[in-house]
Amino acid sequence: MSPDALRLWDGPVLGIETSCDETSVAVLEGLSVRANVVSSQAKLHEQWGGIVPEAASRAHVEAFLPAMEQALSESGMNLSDITAISVTNRPGLVGALNVGLTAAKGLAYALEVPFVAVHHLEGHLLSPLLDDPDLRFPHVCLLVSGGHTEIVRLEGVGAYRLLAQTRDDAAGEAFDKTARLLGLGYPGGAAIQELAQGANPERYPLPVALEKEETLDLSFSGLKTAVLRLVESEGASLDKPDAAASIQHAIARALVLRGMQATEREGVDCLTLAGGVAANERLRQSLAKECERRGWRFRTPRAEYCTDNAAMIALAGSWRLAAGQRSGWEAEPESTAPLPGPVES
């Protein structure tokens, strides 16, 4: 598929994302992000060491209107300039999704504009396009977030094939759970990255699960157990920065290994990296280096478009709207859902 085959909605699209613990509202025009406001609930959930769904829903209700007002003000637009709405309705926390979905329906009704409910992972899969409109298809995407770790082949926009996934914890979950074992805050990925700076990643050898097996699947639950054992056996003598660097190294090694194997097996020459864990500098650098060695393209968006954001949701909705897809008032939030297919005409 050539990039100019990517037809987008003609006019400003309001994107809404409330599937987990970020309330995000964006304004997208074509591929130009006019505003992408993200209000994170990380501080709220830190006290519990993880996301409490009921608290997340309430926080979305409080944060939504201020986030929308900020997005409109940053983009220099009024609500009346919005010509369509794209909102995440799956997968995610049902109560949290419902806040964004209900807001989208209310706005669509009041503004008399169409809305479309989209799959959160389609947003992540397409997010590299926000920084590289010339992104080529087919390619393989390593989609690594707090809730998902999937390897997907993209034949084109709307044509996705799941190649492999984690058998247990997601990569972001592995960062979050091991960070907790080290006594770091939530979410753990950024905290581990920061602590690992300048530390020795070889100090504590940690396992890469399924390393030698004939599969593209991943597994991170063994890492959590290994870190628990390490923390218990080292006690007060544990060097936390070295432990953080070793954890980051183990997760990155597993992801780089599978990323290379999947791209090779699929016979394509482009790999993308998306999802919250894609914000990890060590992972980005390792994948960039390995792809360069093989003469492949490597694309990953800026960190702001890796972690949950409404710009990627506006993008996923924009092409669906342009292709004629619309959602009706009966659209519901769904906690789980397979990857979406093409627009049916």
Q: Order of strands, edge to edge, in the sheet holding 297-299?
A: 159-165, 149-156, 139-144, 270-274, 297-299
Q: Which of 39, 75, 127, 145 touches Zn ion by CB under 5 A?
A: 145
Q: Which of 91, 95, 123, 187 touches ligand KG4 by CB under 6 A?
A: 187
Residue at shortest CB range from Zn ion: 145
- Residue 147 near ligand KG4 by CB under 6 A: yes
- Residue 128 near ligand KG4 by CB under 6 A: no
Judged by beta carbon, residue 107 or residue 143, the one nearer ligand KG4 is 143
The token duo for 209 is 């699960």
Q: Give residues 70-89 in contact with ligand KG4 (rule: CB under 6 A).
A: none
Per partner kind, with CB cut-offs from 5 to 8 A, the member of ligand KG4, Zn ion, none near residue 175 is: ligand KG4
The 17-46 site mask, x for binding ligand KG4 (CB under 6 A), equals ---x--------------------------
Q: Which of 15, 188, 301, 317 touches ligand KG4 by CB under 6 A?
A: 188
Number of residues that bind ligand KG4 (CB under 6 A): 19
Q: Which of 176, 249, 260, 298 touches ligand KG4 by CB under 6 A?
A: 176
Stretch that binds ligand KG4, among 2-10, 127-135, 271-279, 327-335 (CB under 6 A): 271-279
Q: Which of 36, 145, 149, 327 touches ligand KG4 by CB under 6 A?
A: 145
Please give the Cα distance from 234 to 83 (Å, whole number).
59
Please give the Cα distance from 286 to 233 (Å, whole number).
30
Q: Is 80 within 8 Å of 112 (Cβ atoms)?
A: no
- Residue 150 near ligand KG4 by CB under 6 A: no
Q: Which of 275, 301, 317, 333 touches ligand KG4 by CB under 6 A?
A: 275
SS in 3 state form for the chain? Answer: CCHHHCCCCCCCEEEEECCCCEEEEEEEECCEEEEEEEEECHHHHHCCCCCCHHHHHHHHHHHHHHHHHHHHHHHCCCHHHCCEEEEEEECCCHHHHHHHHHHHHHHHHHHCCCEEEEEHHHHHHHCHHHHCCCCCCCEEEEEECCCCEEEEEEEECCEEEEEEEECCCCHHHHHHHHHHHCCCCCCHHHHHHHHHCCCCCCCCCCCCCCCCCCCCCECCHHHHHHHHHHHHHHHHHCCHHHHHHHHHHHHHHHHHHHHHHHHHHHCCCEEEEECHHHHCHHHHHHHHHHHHHHCCEEECCCHHHCCCCHHHHHHHHHHHHHCCCCCCCCCCCCCCCCCCCCCCC
Q: Give residues 297-336 in contact with ligand KG4 (rule: CB under 6 A).
A: 307-308
- Residue 173 near Zn ion by CB under 5 A: no
Judged by beta carbon, residue 264 or residue 281, the one nearer ligand KG4 is 281
Stretch that binds Zn ion, among 90-98, 128-136, 142-150, 154-162 (CB under 5 A): 142-150
Q: Residue 17's beta-bridge partner residues?
A: 24
| Smallest separation, CB 328 to ligand KG4 (Å) | 26
Size of the chain, expressed as the number of residues it contains: 345
Judged by beta carbon, residue 175 or residue 319, the one nearer ligand KG4 is 175
Per partner kind, with CB cut-offs from 5 to 8 A, the member of ligand KG4, Zn ion, none near residue 280 is: ligand KG4
- Residue 21 near Zn ion by CB under 5 A: no
- Residue 201 near ligand KG4 by CB under 6 A: no
Site residues (vs Zn ion, CB under 5 A): 145, 308
Site residues (vs ligand KG4, CB under 6 A): 20, 145-147, 172, 175-176, 187-190, 193, 275-277, 279-280, 307-308
